[in-house]
Chain A
Amino acid sequence: MTNHWGDYIYTDVFMNIGGNTAESHIISMKHIERAQRKGAKFIAVDPRFTHTAAIADIHVPIRSGTNLAYVCGLMNYIIQNERHQKEYVKHYTNATYLIHEDFDLDEETGYFSGVQDDPIRKCKKYDQTTWNYQRDAEGNVLRDMDMQDPNCVWQIMKRIYSKYTIKNVSDVTGCPEETLEKAYNLYSSTGEPGKAGNIMYALGITHFTHGAQNTRSLCVVQLMLGNMGIPGGGVNAQRGQSNVQGATDQAILYHIIPGYLGVPRAARHPDLATYLDVETPKVKECWWSNKPKYMVSLLKEFWGDNATAANDFCYDYFPKLDHRDHSQIPIYKNMGEGEVKGLICFAENPVVGGSSTKTKRDYQSKLDWFVCSDIFETESVAWWYEDGVNPKEIQTEVFMLPAAACLEREGTKANSSRWIQWMYKAQNPPGEARWDLQIAYELFSRLQDAYASGGGAFPEPITKLQWDYGMDGDKSQVDVVKVCRALNGYYTDGRPYEKSFVTNFVGLQDDGSTACGNWLYGGYYNNLKAPACQSRVTEAPGEGLGTQRGWSFAWPLNRRIVYNRCSADLEGKPWNPATQMFWWDNDGNLIADKNLDTPDWPGGWNTNFEQLRDFPFIMLPEGRGRLFAAAGAIADAPLPIHYETAESLFPNLFYPKATYNPVSERFYEDHVVETDEERARYPYIMNTYRCTEHYQTGIMTRNMPWLNEIAPELYIEMDPELASNLGIKPGDMVEIGSKRLYKDGKQGYIEARACVTERLQPFVVHGRKVHQVGMPFNWGYMGMNKGSITNDLSPSVGCAIVSTPEYKGFLCCIRKKEV
């Protein structure tokens, strides 16, 4: 989240797209209700009429997978009706920048200029030369401040989005034209200076082969309307798991290392100098120009005294990535192919929550060993319990490590709006259950000992790691404060432990004099007596902006609203005086109430206003928000356009010869529905999601009788017309299949109860009526409440950028179960 729930109260219009706040992020409703009481309007974009739609002013039903058509339509509406925040667009975005003259989009295929075959990923890739800015001889970007040049970003957008008329968008999404018009009109009203529009999204945006483009399109809309960096605005990802923000910060994803630094890749970054050169922007105002300090401090934290300038701070020891994708889909593929021999699974249940999970369970059986750490026995660790599976045929050696639940351990959690909050443990874990941190640390310690005594091919990267987090030298007991210090950062010059903490990441250096496990966390735990993450000072009512700066610590630098420079105009006057965070006197000197927020510009409190005129977005080398993702920014399209889902009943009505996202890797052949004959066999659109009562794969909640009482069985939601066509009555047992369960000429099925409801309505797309159904995926064969695994149906195709599987908008077949 760029903002926080606390400043939702300043929102004029909410748009919840690809998320179901009232069912999946329930506590947010407290803040939304407050804003609604003040008169805020709410738009719920969802294929189904959900609990969120029930409290919304406008419900926009769109066919699953057509978010981009809807958002591009909104962009076109903004451009055509000049609803954009004019000054903001001109000065704070790259709308005025000129792009290479040869930049183009093929209106037939949906390919941008520079398209090439990618034989390794079996899809397309882009040579991005024509996506570059035009520059003068000195290297300065050429701009047209009137935004009239045909090559300027604004004119390119105007051209590309002109076909996303309300009529065409209605034709593709299946949403009635008048509903679209109403929603577009209402949301674009926040382009008026001083108004705040808030976009909340979740996995209904990311679970697509064009997921990253979906997210980007929301950012573009917010930039067009001047909603970024202001109280009540922002692009607000509603996280589902309580510490998923923290996990992402610490690099749970394979393509980054802690603090969102790029993962070192063998071919691209052979040595430290090359890594720093390739990864660091050359513009000194851009905050990422400090990257060498963060990378060197990270290496120093890993290898301690062993890391010196002479040996590249042990960069050679850092594991390097090969050219391949190592997200969940390919990890399991590699298991099936025998390349991956063992798996450690911490608090994850991939054979329920992943895609094509029936296949995943088969692949898991090929492992030599499998370690799982969880609070209950999950489907993933106990896959031989499934009906029809013969345990004798599974040779995998399985270890189950009982884990402590979240209330049984101590440490921090980071919430969606980047607050790192300390949590004390409420009680000790039962039996032999242990903290994740302890399990991980003991595993590390034993591995280090094993390499130290047994050698091995290349033991130094592990034996020389200097992770001294043991409690009083006892390697089996981890001292969580020592880990906090490592993340916060410390000086390595041997000063006393209690005085060694760096104040924040501004103090980090690239010469080895500091060590830091995650630069973004700098300042959250910078002393032993009163660390910021344990602070619990609340704003008095009427005081402050709801930013609650005294409560815990938000990365970066306790900044609550990122890009907050944009809350004021070029001259420093706030767009909305009622929510102003900073203001300047006539001499350009900053006068601010330091309790409101931390300024987001180079130099912070000490900067003269003139110095920061040109750099409202300090993380980008341009210093301005990217409507257009110029060369090098993203491997996917430079401007978001509509692509159908991998399995779709329809051709792309905007680009008739387009496939699904052309740069999304094709992992498997003959995996998705591609022919008309297959489309006839799987004629319904499936949308998967979570229900309120069960959490994620249900491991915690399906072992809770009170929740099983209110949500006792897996169900499939369908409209009454479809139910009547198929002879299905409410509560009937129904069988659902997809191409993933079609094997050797036989269709396999999963089972669910029929929920027949008018909350779902057929869509009329391009004159043809289609039925969409929906299922939660919170069930499995373990625990007190058992049910089919919905994800047995979903395809293993992923987003072009981050490989998140396309859990939504795939095709299925349905029939009533014969009893």
Chain B
Amino acid sequence: MRKAILLDTSKCIACRGCQVACKNWNQLPAEDTVFNSNFENPPELSPITWMRVTFKEEMKDGKFKWYFGSDRCMHCTDAACMMVCPVGAIYRTETGSVNINYDKCIGCNYCVANCPFEAMSFDREANHPVKCTMCIDRTSNGLLPACVKACPAGALQYGDRDKLATRASARVAKLQAEGNNKAGVYGLEEVSGTGTMYVLENDPDYYGLPSADIQVPFKARAWNVIFKPLRVLAVIAVALGLWGNRSESKEIQDAASVAKGKES
């Protein structure tokens, strides 16, 4: 049975317990941050930050609204990262989460470059990508994902994707009945359905999410269909991939070295 994590943003109180629980369970070191006037911190995902809470303020017609969301791997059905991986290191688990086999990974970074949600980071030191695992190490032992376990507000839920999808739609129907016609479920259809779903109170861009007609990039599909079967070309492709993404890799490397500096 495919599982999913559902974040009902209308219930989220942005305590960031999930964010700290993620770091705690995955033993990720803290980043060196500075004050951010909208409270988001760290400012983006990195090899040592796999999920974070997002904040957006809006004053409209004299009425203030505060939108809380999250930024993390979506565990897509049409997972671009899986498609582009030349060595099949990215795989789907029994619960439907998208995970990475580091024994197979060759560190080409092509998955990171193609993720439409920018939810993967490349750990330059370990030479492989990292991201939210949907706590496969916990769920396969009968525990809830760390973030869900920590949520005090009933905003995060984990369970059968079908059931959560129904629940999310019912919640949206209620929000709409209460007068919010912008409310919607995100992740039902996007990239053929995601393993991280959201009840949103406004358009996806309020939460830093790509618009609802998000598609897997054409180049990723092309790669998947045309080139991937030709494993002999993989090595060349990896070289191309690295070259194509060298500027981004450098950024990630910088972030990693900053983090490491703090650790030491």
Which residues in A have some Cβ–Cβ distance to B below 8 Å? 22-23, 26-30, 33-34, 37, 49, 51-55, 59, 692-693, 705-713, 715, 730-731, 753-759
Contacts and interface: CB of A to CB of B under 8 A. Distances in A.
A150 B32 CA distance: 67
A54 B155 CA distance: 13
A26 B37 contact: no
B37 A755 contact: yes
A51 B15 contact: yes
B59 A705 contact: no
Nearest to B34: A712
B66 A759 contact: yes
Given A709-B31, A731-B36, A757-B37, A52 B13 contact: yes
B143 to A, nearest CB: 18
Contacts of A37: 154
Query: A59, A706, A758 — which one has the most chain B CB atoms within 10 A of its CB?
Result: A706
A26 B17 contact: yes
Nearest to A731: B37
Contact of B153 (A33, A49, A693, A731): A33
A55 B11 contact: yes
A658 B24 CA distance: 54
A51 B64 contact: no
Given A706-B23, A710-B19, A753-B35, A26 B13 contact: yes
A756 B33 contact: no
Contacts of B64: 49, 59, 758-759
Contacts of B153: 22, 26, 29-30, 33, 55
A53 B65 CA distance: 9
The residue among B31, B32, B37 with the most chain A CB atoms within 10 A of its own CB is B37
A22 B154 CA distance: 12
A55 to B, nearest CB: 6
B168 to A, nearest CB: 14
Contacts of B14: 51, 54
Contacts of B15: 22-23, 26, 51, 692
B29 interface: yes
B89 interface: no
Given A29-B154, A705-B30, A753-B35, A55 B41 contact: no
B169 to A, nearest CB: 16
Interface of B: 10-11, 13-17, 19-20, 23-24, 29-39, 41-42, 57, 59, 64-66, 68, 152-154, 262
A51 B65 CA distance: 10
Given A27-B152, A55-B11, A706-B20, A756 B34 contact: no
26 contacts: A22-B15, A23-B15, A26-B15, A27-B152, A28-B152, A33-B154, A51-B14, A51-B66, A52-B13, A54-B14, A54-B66, A54-B68, A707-B20, A708-B30, A708-B33, A709-B30, A709-B31, A709-B42, A710-B16, A710-B19, A712-B35, A731-B36, A755-B35, A756-B37, A758-B57, A759-B64
Contacts of A59: 64
Given A693-B16, A731-B36, 11 more contacts: A22-B15, A29-B153, A59-B64, A708-B30, A709-B31, A710-B20, A710-B33, A715-B35, A715-B37, A755-B39, A759-B57
Nearest to B8: A33
Q: B-side binding surface: helix, strand, loop or mixed? A: loop
Given A29-B13, A51-B14, A731-B36, A710 B41 contact: yes
A757 B57 contact: yes
A19 to B, nearest CB: 14
Top 3 nearest A-B pairs (CB, nearest first) are: A730-B37, A705-B30, A22-B13
A592 B116 CA distance: 61
B147 to A, nearest CB: 13
Given A709-B42, A715-B35, A755-B37, A692 B154 contact: no
B35 A713 contact: yes
Max count, chain A CB within 10 A of own CB: residue among B17, B29, B31, B262: B31
Contacts of A753: 35, 37
Q: Chain B CB within 10 Å — which of A28, A51, A53 has the most?
A: A51
A33 B10 CA distance: 11
Contacts of B152: 26-30
A692 B53 CA distance: 14
Nearest to B29: A705
B41 A712 contact: yes
A515 to B, nearest CB: 42
Nearest to B22: A706
Contacts of B10: 55
Interface centre among A692, A706, A710 (most CB of B within 10 A): A710
B35 A55 contact: no
Find the residue from B19, B23, B32, B35 having the highest chain A CB count within 10 A.
B35
Contacts of A33: 11, 153-154
A52 B24 CA distance: 26
A75 to B, nearest CB: 28
A682 B29 CA distance: 43
Contacts of A731: 34-37
Given A22-B15, A29-B154, A30-B153, A706 B30 contact: yes
Contact of B13 (A54, A708, A711, A755): A54
B112 to A, nearest CB: 22
Contact of B154 (A34, A712, A754): A34
Nearest to B64: A49
B241 to A, nearest CB: 31
A279 B262 CA distance: 60
Contacts of B20: 706-707, 710
Centre residue among A28, A692, A712 by max chain B CB count within 10 A:
A712
Contacts of A759: 57, 64, 66
Nearest to A756: B37
Nearest to B20: A706
Contacts of A711: 41
A22 to B, nearest CB: 4
A775 to B, nearest CB: 13
Nearest to A758: B59
A450 B165 CA distance: 71
Nearest to B28: A706
Contacts of A23: 13, 15
Contacts of A754: 37
Contacts of B37: 715, 730-731, 753-757
Contacts of B65: 54
Nearest to A707: B20
A174 to B, nearest CB: 15
Given A29-B153, A30-B153, A709-B30, A49 B66 contact: yes
A119 to B, nearest CB: 49
Nearest to B59: A758
Contacts of B41: 709-712
B215 to A, nearest CB: 32
A70 to B, nearest CB: 19
A577 to B, nearest CB: 27
A134 B108 CA distance: 89
Nearest to B65: A54
A712 B59 CA distance: 26
Contacts of A712: 33-35, 41
Nearest to A25: B152
Contacts of A52: 13
Interface centre among A33, A708, A758 (most CB of B within 10 A): A33
Nearest to B41: A710
Contacts of B154: 29-30, 33-34, 37
Contacts of B68: 54
A28 B152 CA distance: 8
Contacts of A756: 37
Contacts of B29: 705
A34 B16 CA distance: 20
A804 B36 CA distance: 33
A37 B23 CA distance: 30
Most buried by B among A28, A59, A755, A756: A755
A754 B32 CA distance: 19
Contacts of B19: 710
